[in-house]
Amino acid sequence: MSSHYDIVIIGGGMVGASLAAALKNSELKIAVIEPYPISNDESGINEKTYQPSYDARSTALSWGSRLIYEQLGLWDQLSQHVTPIQKIHVSDRGRFGATRLSAQDYNVEALGYVVPNEWIGKTLITALDSLNNIDFICPAKVEGITRTESATCIKLSKRNDATGQYEWSSQAVTAELVVIADGGRSETCQKLGIEMQTELYGQHALVTNVTTSKHHGYEAYERFTESGPMAMLPLGAADQAEGKKTDARCALVWTLPEEQVASVMAMPDTEFMVLLQGRFGYRLGKIEQVGVRHHYPLKLSQSAEQVRAGIVVVGNAAHALHPVAGQGYNLALRGVMSLAELIQRATNKGESIGSLTVLQRYIKDRYIDQDKTILFSDKITRLFGDASPGVGLLRDMGLVGLDILPGAKRLFARQAMGLGGSEAKIL
């Protein structure tokens, strides 16, 4: 048994679902294959009943990503649970250099927004739920993928609800274009022999939510410490003026050397809070509560081969970045939009969307944006992760320089706002 689609998206995570949402108004027949069930629970998208848990993990969306969500017609929905970043404070622990970016200086409402990942997922899936041209094939996994001259064939295994195991399915799907969005350890890319160039940072990102005695005031902190960079992002709106109880917290992303992760993860909360307070300082007052800690090994990877005839690789399957600069999803979203526009243009002109010539038009600009974004987050991480004294001075000069030189600061701000790779005329 085999069904044919114009496009099959492998992976219904944030990037795969974003691509499906970007194509929702097309007349193309699309399938999304995902190993986990994709469904809206009973509370659905109801913003009144949705309560992000204290431990919900979040993503910082750039201003550029807000513009994309507006273009997709999903911003009104998403904005029900976003926290604006009105200022960004960049500093180096124990040194004098510091710089501040403010939304006001760039005539925008916010430099970016922090959103619980679960809410991004709900917003995207709800937008796709009722569409006739999009099928979700899940829970299912890709077991084999082969390309013929005109189509790509995917063999599937489906999850047996009784045993929880994935079993070979007689169902196969074919598609003119297959988009691989199955994440950083992409099994599909491995099956196709698509290699990633990977550099391990020897660091892990420790992620948790934190309550502080002072309200964040919608300011994000990027702090560089000798053990690695740390980001503290504002989470949760608050009506302090009326003296209401707030749910304001911060989302912490703390880079730690590999050899320290196990001991920091194992610390009791009280001990962890003392360590964190020592590293972050008192800009937000006292650290009063922390949530569940998670950690992720950090790597910089990019696939040198992101298009083949009938195949495109997107999201973490194509590139994974250091998370401290909050750029991975924002970069992927720009890629998803260019791909959706290319697909739409090619369809209108009657061109094959799987043709390598068509797909090469997409990849040229993508590499420019990817290289710029990787350079920004990688260089910043390495420069600020180096503890040697000469480099410390260089950092101070860099931060002070950013503060003094409007041109340099504008460039930095454009990249942080996700506009570095685009032509948007906002700044």
Ligand X SMILES: Cc1cc2nc3c(=O)[nH]c(=O)nc-3n(C[C@H](O)[C@H](O)[C@H](O)COP(=O)(O)OP(=O)(O)OC[C@H]3O[C@@H](n4cnc5c(N)ncnc54)[C@H](O)[C@@H]3O)c2cc1C
Per the DSSP assignment, residues forming a β-bridge with 225 are 228
| 8 Å CB contact between 418 and 330 | yes
If the CB atoms of residues 324 and 346 are measured against ligand X, the closer one turns out to be: 324
Q: Does 238 bind ligand X (CB under 6 A)?
A: no
Q: Which of 6, 8, 16, 212 binds ligand X (CB under 6 A)?
A: 16
- Using the contact rule CB under 6 A, the part of the chain among 27-35, 159-167, 376-384, 393-401 near ligand X is 27-35
Q: What tokens appear for 30 in the block?
A: 């699309």
If the CB atoms of residues 58 and 133 are measured against ligand X, the closer one turns out to be: 58
3-state secondary structure of 250: strand
If the CB atoms of residues 97 and 291 are measured against ligand X, the closer one turns out to be: 291
3-state secondary structure of 71: helix
Per the DSSP assignment, residues forming a β-bridge with 412 are none
If the CB atoms of residues 16 and 229 are measured against ligand X, the closer one turns out to be: 16
Residue 330: which of 127, 68, 9 has the closest Cα?
68
3-state secondary structure of 46: coil
How far lies 258's CA from each of 124, 205, 374, in Å?
Answer: 34, 9, 21
- Using the contact rule CB under 6 A, the part of the chain among 14-22, 128-136, 242-250, 273-281 near ligand X is 14-22
Q: Does 19 bind ligand X (CB under 6 A)?
A: no
- Using the contact rule CB under 6 A, the part of the chain among 32-40, 163-171, 265-273, 340-348 near ligand X is 32-40
Q: Does 229 bind ligand X (CB under 6 A)?
A: no
Give the binding-site size for ligand X (rule: CB under 6 A): 34
Q: Which of 11, 52, 335, 421 binds ligand X (CB under 6 A)?
A: 11
To the nearest whole angstrom, how small is the minimum distance from the Cβ of residue 185 to ligand X? 8
If the CB atoms of residues 185 and 286 are measured against ligand X, the closer one turns out to be: 185
To the nearest whole angstrom, how small is the minimum distance from the Cβ of residue 184 to ligand X? 6
Q: Does 36 bind ligand X (CB under 6 A)?
A: yes
92-122 exposure pattern, b = at least 16 Cβ within 10 A, e = fewer: bbeeebebebebeebebebbbbbbbeebbbb
Residues 121-180 that bind ligand X (CB under 6 A): 141-142
To the nearest whole angstrom, how small is the minimum distance from the Cβ of residue 296 to ligand X? 4
To the nearest whole angstrom, how small is the minimum distance from the Cβ of residue 397 to ligand X? 27
- One-letter amino acid at 405 equals L
To the nearest whole angstrom, how small is the minimum distance from the Cβ of residue 351 to ligand X? 26
Q: Does 228 bind ligand X (CB under 6 A)?
A: no
337-352 exposure pattern, b = at least 16 Cβ within 10 A, e = fewer: bbbbebbbebbeeeeb
Could you give the CA distance from residue 255 to residue 324 in angstroms, rounded to a whole number?
A: 8
- Using the contact rule CB under 6 A, the part of the chain among 9-17, 97-105, 353-361, 401-409 near ligand X is 9-17
Could you give the CA distance from residue 38 to residue 69 in angstroms, rounded to a whole number?
A: 21
If the CB atoms of residues 320 and 343 are measured against ligand X, the closer one turns out to be: 320
To the nearest whole angstrom, how small is the minimum distance from the Cβ of residue 112 to ligand X? 9
- Using the contact rule CB under 6 A, the part of the chain among 6-14, 260-268, 283-291, 403-411 near ligand X is 6-14
- One-letter amino acid at 271 equals E
If the CB atoms of residues 282 and 367 are measured against ligand X, the closer one turns out to be: 367
Residues 6+ apart with CB under 8 A from 379: none
Could you give the CA distance from residue 227 to residue 386 in angstroms, rounded to a whole number?
A: 9
3-state secondary structure of 225: strand
The β-bridge relationship of strands 166-180 and 311-313 is parallel
Cα diameter, the chain: 67
Q: Does 33 bind ligand X (CB under 6 A)?
A: yes
Q: Which of 35, 44, 121, 257 binds ligand X (CB under 6 A)?
A: 35
Report which DSSP code applies to 404.
H
Residues 192-211 that bind ligand X (CB under 6 A): 205, 207
Q: Does 13 bind ligand X (CB under 6 A)?
A: yes
If the CB atoms of residues 118 and 396 are measured against ligand X, the closer one turns out to be: 118
Q: Does 234 bind ligand X (CB under 6 A)?
A: no
Q: Does 315 bind ligand X (CB under 6 A)?
A: yes
How far lies 398's CA from each of 265, 386, 389, 402, 409, in Å?
Answer: 33, 14, 14, 6, 10
| 8 Å CB contact between 29 and 6 | yes
3-state secondary structure of 306: coil
Binding site for ligand X (CB under 6 A): 10-16, 33-36, 59-60, 141-142, 181-184, 187-188, 205, 207, 253, 296, 315-316, 323, 326-330, 332
